[in-house]
Amino acid sequence: MKNLIISKQVKSTERMSLQHLIRPKTIAVIGASREETKIGHMVLKNIIDGGFPKENVFPVNPNVDNILGLKCYPSVKDIPVDVDLAVIVVPARIVPKVMKECAEKKVKAVAVISSGFKEVGNVEGEREIVRIAKEAGIKLLGPNIVGIADTPMKINASFMPYLPERGKIAFISQSGALAIGLVTWTKLKEIGLSDVVSIGNKADVNEIDLIEFFSKDPHTKAITLYMEGIEDGRKFMEVAKRVTKVKPIVMLKAGKAERTAAAIKSHTGSLAGSDIAYDIAFKQCGVIRAESFPTLFDYGLALASLPDPKGENVVILTNGGGAGVMATDACEQYGLKLMDIPSDLAGKLKKWMPEFGSTLNPVDLTGMAADRDYYGSLQTLLADERVHAIIILYCHTAITDPLRIAEALVKCKREGKYVDKPMVAAFIGGRECDTAIKHLTRYGIPAFENPERAVAALAAKYRYWRYKKRPSGAFVKVDGNKEKAKVIIERALREGRALTPSEAAEVAHLYDIPVVKKRIARSKEDALKIAEEIGYPVVLEVESPDIVHKVDVGAIRLNIQSREELEKAYDEVLSNVKKNAPKARIEGVVVRSFVKQGVEVAVGMHRDELFGPMIMFGSGGTLIELYKDVAFRIAPLTDIDIDEMMKETKVIKVLEGFRDKPKDIEAVKKVLASVNQLSLDFDEIKDIDINPLFVYEKGCIAFDVKILLRS
Ligand code: ACO
């Protein structure tokens, strides 16, 4: 209990200091320059111009008495009041000195705009300023940042040209230049933001701290991020899982290509994780991934402003067939379900369209539709409980003014006669449509220039809603024989090698994975004895750490039916190896039972550097890399994770009985649970490959098991 209280206190203190960073009451600008073109001057001017109270702003510069009408202090220590935030804009070499002064002054947070640290190899300099900050209990943002903008408090402590529009989306950016570009773009589109935080080298405060902060911030309804790399994947997942229960997170993660990854290293000194792992991690913790910068804010907007739907029924309302078709295609692509309009509802909608209109979905009001028709039909759709979300499309025609249509839609929404439903719009046309789009967006109907963006934004809302209501499931646990497996693994580790096939099979067996029975024979007599025990038919296979593809060198013989055949085959496989791979070390000959072929699936695990064990399921066999019919989840897995990952593959249809009898899916789930457990019990295991795993109507069996260890 005591510990709990302490940890709560620490958490609330942490939040307090981020409060000083993001919503300070007093701000010092260290390096406030007299010269208008210098960043230090711009930052000071921006804070004043943004509307933050002038009397709470304190320029610091030892070479001048007054800047922009404000008294200037030689050092932060000379400021007569407590300083919440110091924005540091002096060259990197002076930053440690001014940081020490901030520590003496007991400044609560600093934002270091200065470049010239880790990103250019000055790791020592960066460590030094972090050390000073940590010792003094100062939260440090940066270095190498554009700064912070906070619209609720009207703070533009940055060298962005202006404060963004006030809004409900927080934007965290690892790239400074991109933050400036995107913020000015949001201004143009009148997309409001609560905050913009540039995190640069994230030497102290990072995206995880900020996600935590904004998750509790009443001014923020959605958190958006532009990131190139995350350092602590497990912590990120843990926090994101918690936060997405209450607030949506949308992330644009750049750095997919290898070449881009190299550029990131030199740009911000950050590491880029493998992209598929990011995809899976985001999916598992409810983070919505954006594909481009417009979609980052499209999704942010939809998630910040739309209410939760009550169900899956989506209706498209349009005045043009083409726009409706495009939206229909996009709905299919993004997984939105178009409702079959019931006849009673169709009858009511008929009132708002000419004879040649359509009450199918898309509901086509035709090119004759005026504002009253949009108003009436929207009201009809809002009134019907079976309709759960609406996509409104409009193509600019000579007979209607887009703004009047937008006003009619907003009026209908704001009358509040009916339950609020998620609505998005696409207005296709010129400048007039742009005005209408802004009007709709301002009043809670996110609107876009084309149907695809509107559908994608609504789909992002649906993805998040489905994630939130999905049961979290129970963690799967398997009681494997950890002690025995440990002995085998440690021996291989000592010898610096992967597990041999028989060792891998033994470890799998110890974790309840049904494996083809096999034992190693050191002599022909031995092999005959083992075959008697296992039972014919059997397979003979030369065991060697130096032979990867056994078929190629004739080291394997299948379907041996009798004692006589075995005696002959034993000599054959050994002489084949001597002839075709003379240098290969031979450890014996494995005798295993010859099993009938089932549906070939693969189960595996790859330990990702950033996120940990990634468990795989998919179509098995030698063409696994070609077909790529696989799905991943990051361990620890729940039963729901297992269900969902299996459903993502095509081979699940075969297991469910596509043109044949259903196969034992439960048995495969148990194998997945065992691989999950092995990956959690043994950090030393780098990769597990069970391929093929033959699945039958009853049961399954691992034909080949490979286990690689971390070096
Ligand atoms: N305390 C306070 N002020 C001081 C001190 C001190 N101890 N010592 C000097 N100053 C004053 C200087 O006198 C000067 O004021 P003045 O022009 O009135 O004389 C002011 O601080 C600035 O110092 P300069 O030496 O002129 O430094 P300059 O302004 O040229 O550069 C800066 C400083 C902007 C921090 C630069 O070193 C830098 O890092 N620039 C890059 C910033 C950046 O791009 N950040 C990343 C953003 S992300 C992106 O990619 C966009």
Q: What's the 16 CA to ligand 1 centre distance in angstroms?
A: 28
Q: What per-residue confidence (pLDDT) applies to 550?
A: 84
- pLDDT per position as a tens digit, 248-264: 999 999 877 654 444 43
Residue 428 lies in a domain: yes
What local confidence, expressed as pLDDT, does residue 480 receive?
94
466-473: long-range pairs with CB below 8 Å, 24+ = 467/244, 467/286, 468/244, 468/245, 468/286, 468/308, 470/640, 471/640, 472/638, 472/640, 473/638, 473/639, 473/640, 473/641
pLDDT tens-digit readout, 478-512: 999 999 999 999 999 999 888 988 899 999 999 99
Looking at the structure, do residues 198 and 323 belong to the same domain, yes or no? no
Query: E-assigned strands of 594-636?
Result: 599-608, 612-619, 630-634
- Asked if 49 and 190 sit in the same domain, the reply is yes
Ligand 1 pocket check for 147: Cβ under 6 Å: no
pLDDT at 627: 81
Average of per-residue pLDDT across 107-135:
97
CATH number where 414 lies: 3.40.50.261
Chain center to CA of 539:
45
pLDDT at 443 over 50: yes
CB 687 within 8 A of CB 602: no
Of the two residues 459 and 292, the one the predictor is more confident about is 459
Token pair 């910040």 is found at 304
Residue 515 pairs in a beta bridge with: 702
Contact 449, 437 (CB under 8 A): yes
Question: Based on the domain organization, do 313 and 435 belong to the same domain?
Answer: yes
Q: SS3 sequence, 121-164?
A: CCHHHHHHHHHHHHHHCCEEECCCCCEEEECCCCEEEECCCCCC
pLDDT of residue 275: 81
pLDDT for 11 equals: 42
Angle separating helix axes 371-383 and 402-415, nearest 10 degrees: 30
Average pLDDT rounded to a whole number, residues 636-649: 96
Would 607 be classed as within a structural domain? Answer: no
- In the three-class reduction of DSSP (H, G, I as helix; E, B as strand; rest coil), residue 566 is classed as helix
Please tell me if the CB atom of residue 87 comes closer than 6 angstroms to any atom of ligand 1.
no
pLDDT at 10 over 60: no
Q: Which residues contact 464 (CB under 8 A, 6 or more apart)?
A: 244, 248, 286, 288, 303
CB 43 within 8 A of CB 87: yes
Is 445's pLDDT higher than 90?
Answer: yes
Q: Which residues pair with 338 in a beta bridge?
A: 314
pLDDT of 548: 74
Q: Give the residue from 21, 102, 34 showing the smallest Cα distance to 72.
A: 34
Is the beta carbon of 33 within 6 A of some atom in ligand 1? yes
Q: How many A from CA of 151 to the centre of ligand 1?
A: 25
The reply to whether 597 falls in a domain is: no
For a mutational test of ligand 1's pocket, the pick from 36, 64, 90, i.e. the residue with the most ligand atoms closer than 8 A to its C-beta, is 90
**13 and 137 together in one domain:** yes
CA distance to 268, 301, 448, per residue, from 193 (Å): 25, 9, 17
Query: Residue 158: which CATH number?
Result: 3.40.50.720
pLDDT at 3: 39
Q: Mean pLDDT for the chain?
A: 92
Written as one letter, the residue type at 277 is: A
Our answer on whether the CB atom of 360 is closer than 6 Å to any ligand 1 atom is no
Ligand 1 nearest-atom number relative to CA 180: 51
Domain limits for position 320:
306-469
Decide if 649 is inside a domain.
no
Same domain, 445 and 537: no
Question: Per-residue pLDDT for 621 more than 90?
Answer: no
C-alpha pair distances (Å), 6 with each of 2, 18, 209 = 6, 19, 19
Ligand 1 contacts CB of residue 61 (under 6 A): yes
**pLDDT one-digit tens code per residue, 364-400:** 999 999 999 999 999 999 999 999 999 999 999 888 8
Pocket test for ligand 1, best of 89, 159, 202, 268 (most atoms within 8 A of CB): 89
Taking the centre of ligand 1 as the mean of its atom positions, its distance from the CA of residue 204, in whole angstroms, is 21
Q: Which of 592, 625, 644 is the last residue of a domain?
A: 592
- Pull the structure tokens for residue 593: 């039972």
Mean pLDDT of 18-37: 97
User: Is there a contact between 237 and 46 (Cβ–Cβ < 8 Å)?
Assistant: no
The stretches of 337-401 forming alpha helices (DSSP H) are: 343-350, 371-383
**Domain presence at residue 614:** no
The string of DSSP letters for 308-338 reads: PPSSSEEEEEES-HHHHHHHHHHHHHHTPEE
Q: What's the CATH number where 546 sits?
A: 3.30.1490.20
583 inside domain: yes
pTM: 0.90
Q: What is the pLDDT of residues 232-242, one digit of tens each?
A: 999 999 999 99
User: What is residue 419's predicted lDDT score, i.e. its pLDDT?
Assistant: 79
Give the residue with greater pLDDT, 328 vs 6.
Answer: 328
38, 122, 126: residue to mutate for ligand 1 pocket, most atoms within 8 A of CB: 38
Please check whether residue 451 lies inside any domain of the structure. yes
CB-ligand 1 contact for 27 (6 Å cutoff): no
Percentage of the chain surpassing pLDDT 70?
95
- Name beta bridge partners: 194: none
pLDDT of residue 17: 62
Helical (H) or strand (E) element with 448: strand 447-448
C-alpha 38 – ligand 1 centre gap (Å): 7
Are 455 and 524 in a shared domain? no
Over residues 21-26, mean pLDDT: 97
Q: Say what the pLDDT of residue 710 is.
A: 84
Q: What is the DSSP letter of 73?
A: B
User: DSSP secondary-structure letter at 681?
Assistant: H
Report the sign of the C-alpha dihedral through residues 177, 182, 188, 193, in that order: negative
pLDDT score recorded for residue 549:
79
- Contact at 8 Å (CB) between 145 and 118? no
Measuring CA to CA, how many Å separate 521 from each of 499, 524, 570, 707? 17, 7, 10, 21
Give me the DSSP letters along 450-466: SHHHHHHHHHHHHHHHH
- Statement: residue 296 has pLDDT above 70: yes
The answer on pLDDT for 626 being more than 90 is: no
Number of domains into which the chain is organized:
3
Give the DSSP letter of residue 17: H
Number of residues written out for the chain: 711
Output b/e per residue, 346-383; b: 16+ Cβ within 10 A: eebbeebbeeebbbebbbbbbeebbbebbbbbbbbbbe
Do 450 and 535 fall into the same domain? Answer: no
Same domain, 356 and 436: yes
Atom index in ligand 1 nearest the CA of residue 34 equals 18
In sequence order, what are the residues at sequence separation of 6 or more whose Cβ sits closer than 8 angstroms to the Cβ of residue 611? 233, 234, 237, 273, 277, 280, 281, 634
Last residue of a domain, one of 592, 616, 645: 592
For a pLDDT cut of 90, what percent of the chain falls above it?
A: 82
Q: Do 446 and 529 share a structural domain?
A: no
Q: Do 15 and 78 fall into the same domain? A: yes
326 and 407 inside one domain: yes
Examine the fold and report which residue of 435, 469, 503 is the final residue of a domain before the chain moves on. 469
Q: CA 460, CA 181: separation in Å to the nearest integer?
A: 24
CA 133–ligand 1 middle distance (angstroms): 20
Asked if 375 and 433 sit in the same domain, the reply is yes
Characterize 130-161 residue by residue with b for buried, 16 or more Cβ atoms within 10 angstroms of its Cβ, and e for exposed: bebbeebebbbbbbbbbbbbbbebebbbbbbe
pLDDT of residue 258: 52
DSSP state letter for 94: G
Per-residue confidence at 560, pLDDT binned at 50, 70, 90? very high
Task: Decide if 517 contacts 703 (C-beta within 8 A).
Answer: no
Q: Where are the alpha helices (DSSP H) in 78-136?
A: 95-105, 123-136
Judge whether 296 lies within some domain.
no
pLDDT for 1: 38
